[in-house]
Amino acid sequence: LSFSFFTTTLSSSRRTVFAGFVASVHHRRAHLWLLPCFSAAEEAKNEMENLEGLQILAEQWLHQGIEFVQQIPPPQLYAAIGVLLLTTILFFSVRLFRRTKSNTVLLSGLSGSGKTVLFYQLRDGSSHQGAVTSMEPNEGTFVLHTENTKKTKPVHLVDVPGHSRLRSKLEEYLPRAAAVVFVVDALEFLPNCRAASEYLYDILTNASVVKNKIPVLLCCNKTDKVTAHTKEFIRKQMEKEIEKLRASRSAVSTADIANDFALGIEGEVFSFTHCLNKVTVAEASGLTGETDQVQEFIREYVKP
């Protein structure tokens, strides 16, 4: 009986100890599980205190600002408000202007330089069987034929007739042009150098081109031919001709000159780098479809 009682008592003690151990483990687990909750609650409390501090600080600044404004004489206050409103209007006007920037690119140059063939190459990737002299502006709005039509901004390309009697059409488009491609026949350049230089001179001194700093690409076309002149030769020869034009036209009375803007730097020999707008020289062949440099120029100023 005594042994049985001892055994029963020992078992009961073990159960009590084991139960206490289990309760301790559960308590520790519960404590570990609740610890992140306590930490999160503490962080939230600190954030609330920080927010309350910021709110108090903001209210203090607001009261100080109101007191400062009340001390400003009304005329000065109204002037400051007017300047602020004007600045805001100008800021948003500039942003709006940038968003609505023109996508018009003009193809200009003498008749027979290959403008129309270049137009078809840029639009269709085809020369349409050689040059066709156009007597009316040939224009269209399209994505360049080498580009993805779903992601690219269309270009409004205008082929302006090169005949001297029809060049007035150029005046209609220049004010809204994003860029100008001036096409020169690199194969028959020398006989036309003077006339092409005069035409380019008129474009570079045009009021819209100067004020808006419209970029110009001097496109040396038909360079696929073996006897075609290089773009460097054409650039240098046209700079020389334009220098002669500067000298001759400066001697004419200003009343007889249609353009109000002088070209180049006074006292220095003319270079295209002296122009207020950027002038770039490139080679192309509308007949064979070598128009990469022209497309790069267009996309530099009419973003995709």
Three state DSSP letters for 127-187: CCCCCCCCCCCEEEEECCCCCCCCCCCCEEEEECCCCHHHCHHHHHHHHHEEEEEEEEECC
- Looking only at the bridges linking them, the beta strands covering 155-159 and 138-142 are antiparallel
Alpha carbon distances (Å) from 11 to 2, 17, 19:
14, 10, 12
221-279 tens-digit pLDDT: 999 999 999 999 999 999 999 999 998 887 664 444 455 588 989 889 999 999 999 99
Angle at 26 between CA 25 and CA 30, to 5 degrees: 120
Residue 268 has a pLDDT of 94
pLDDT, one tens digit per residue, over 94-109 is 555 544 689 999 999 9
The pTM of this model reads 0.66
Residue 140 has what pLDDT?
A: 94
Provide the residue type at 245 as one letter. L
pLDDT in tens, 108-118: 999 999 999 99
CA distances to 5, 7, 12, 103 from 1, rounded to whole Å, are: 6, 10, 16, 110
Distance of CA 33 to the CA centre of its chain: 56
Q: Minimal CA–CA distance to 278: which of 294, 295, 297, 293?
A: 297
Degrees, nearest 5: CA angle 97-208-202: 155
pLDDT by residue for the chain (304 residues), tens digit each?
444 544 454 455 555 555 555 455 555 555 555 555 556 667 766 777 777 778 888 888 888 878 777 788 887 767 878 888 888 787 666 555 544 689 999 999 999 999 999 999 999 998 776 555 566 678 999 999 898 777 789 999 999 998 877 778 899 999 999 999 999 999 999 999 999 999 999 999 999 999 999 999 999 999 999 999 999 999 999 999 999 999 888 766 444 445 558 898 988 999 999 999 999 999 999 999 999 999 999 999 998 8
Query: In three state form, how does the secondary structure of the chain look?
Result: CHHHHHHHHHHHHHHHHHHHHHHHHHHHHHHHHHHHHHHHHHHHHHHHHHHHHHHHHHHHHHHHHHHHHHHCCHHHHHHHHHHHHHHHHHHHHHHHHHHCCCCEEEEEECCCCCHHHHHHHHHHCCCCCCCCCCCCCEEEEECCCCCCCCCCCCEEEEECCCCHHHCHHHHHHHHHEEEEEEEEECCCHHHHHHHHHHHHHHHHCCHHHHHHCCCEEEEEECCCCCCCCCHHHHHHHHHHHHHHHHHHHHCCCHHHCCCCCCCCCCCCCCCHHHCCCCEEEEECECCCCECHHHHHHHHHHCCC
Angstrom distance (rounded) from CA 273 to CA 205: 14
CB 159 within 8 A of CB 137: yes
CA 50 to mean position of chain CA atoms? 43
- pLDDT attached to residue 52: 79
On average, the pLDDT of the chain sits at 82
